[in-house]
Amino acid sequence: MTPQTDIDTTRKAFQADLAVVETEEGLQTVRDRYLSRKRGAIAALMKSMADADPVDRPALGKEANALKQEIEQAITEKREAITASTHPIGGIDVTLPGRELSFGRRHPLTLIREQVVSLFEAMGFEILQGPQGEDDYHNFEALNMPVDHPARDMQDTFYLEGSMPASDPSEPPATLLRTHTSGMQIRYMESHEPPVRIIAPGLVYRRDTPDLTHSPMFMQVEGLLVGEGITMADLKGTLVSFLRAFFDADTRVEFRPSFFPYTEPSAEVFISCVFCDGHGCAVCKETGWLEILGCGMVHPAVFEAVGYDPERYTGWAFGLGIDRVALLKYRVEDIRLFYSNDLRLLEQFPQ
């Protein structure tokens, strides 16, 4: 064979080889077959020039070089074509494992609030939100706690320096941070006629020294139901169903007499300890019971404050501490963790 026929056959062989290449590995094999400095076909061609007639050598050498460039060019083009077809998005390698996205998660208090809200929503309650900056009238006075009422001391209030204009200019300015969500009872009844069936979740504030079970900011859910012929049996039935749906179908519920200025009679509700099932443990202080919420029949003075006829209407209300429930349900030991924004804690809750 002459060097000239060698060049022609090499070109043909290369074209045939290249035509069937589909992968980068395949292309690499073909490249090595032709362009490898030691074993490649081009290297062999160059060597064989030594046998050619010296007169033909320059022309043949040129031709062999041209073939070499042709092969290099064809391989580059093929490589780009392969890359484009396997990685169609602008040359990005979509086959590489992705970088893990870090998704935000709902805060444990948000999860509990959503669970409480959805259980009451299913019972036909309307969900309300209200201002955290509140005035004395809604937070205390209309709830049967006039100035100097000793019950105001039950709740250590954060007062605002000066005051904050209310979102509705016809309302008195906010002078304090609400100490409970009970003011939402007043806000709703002021602008709605019975029947009433609402719950109002939200943040509340008290001048408590932070410890395992106290935080100056925490979350409550207020509930209120008003109509004709509403009795304490309705209150008990609703709360027992809620607590059993929320905690456990076997949860035992106890109503114990208590005092709140805005309810009469008033009760504190206890559930059998979720940790020891009522046998007694450190969490329930060996009593077998956990206090879970305050409630009662709406006081007639509250109805009078909002212009409802207490002779015609009766109703009940309750206030539930979301943080306390979250501590129990998630077995977290320190309420302050809920407000520390520590991702190691926040990432632990089933969404």
In the complex, which residues of this chain contact ligand DAH (CB under 6 A)?
180, 182, 222, 260, 263, 294-296, 317-319
Closest to ligand DAH by CB, 317 or 325: 317
CA distance 189 to 194: 8
Q: Minimum distance from CB of 295 to ligand DAH (Å)? A: 5
Within the chain, residue ranges assigned H as helices are: 3-19, 24-35, 41-48, 57-86, 108-122, 136-139, 183-191, 232-246, 300-306, 322-330, 343-346
Q: Which is nearer to ligand DAH, 3 or 294 (CB)?
A: 294
In 124-200, alpha helices (H)? 136-139, 183-191
Minimum distance from CB of 181 to ligand DAH (Å)? 7
- Residue 93 CB, shortest distance to ligand DAH, in Å, is 58
Could you tell me if 64 and 45 are in contact, meaning their C-beta atoms sit under 8 angstroms apart? yes
Cβ distance to ligand DAH smaller for residue 205 or 330: 205
Question: Shortest distance, CB of residue 114 to ligand DAH, whole angstroms?
Answer: 20
**Packing angle of the helix pair 3-19, 57-86 (nearest 10 deg):** 0
- Please identify the residue of the shown chain whose CB is closest to the bound ligand DAH: 319
Taking the complex as a whole, the smallest distance from the CB of residue 346 to ligand DAH amounts, in Å, to: 26
Residues present in the chain in total: 351
Shorter beta-carbon distance to ligand DAH: residue 175 or 182: 182
Torsion of CA 31, 35, 36, 40, to 10 degrees: 100
- The strands making up 263-272's β-sheet, listed across from edge to edge, are 126-127, 196-205, 217-227, 314-321, 289-298, 263-272, 253-260
In the complex with ligand DAH, the residue whose CB is nearer, 222 or 323, is 222
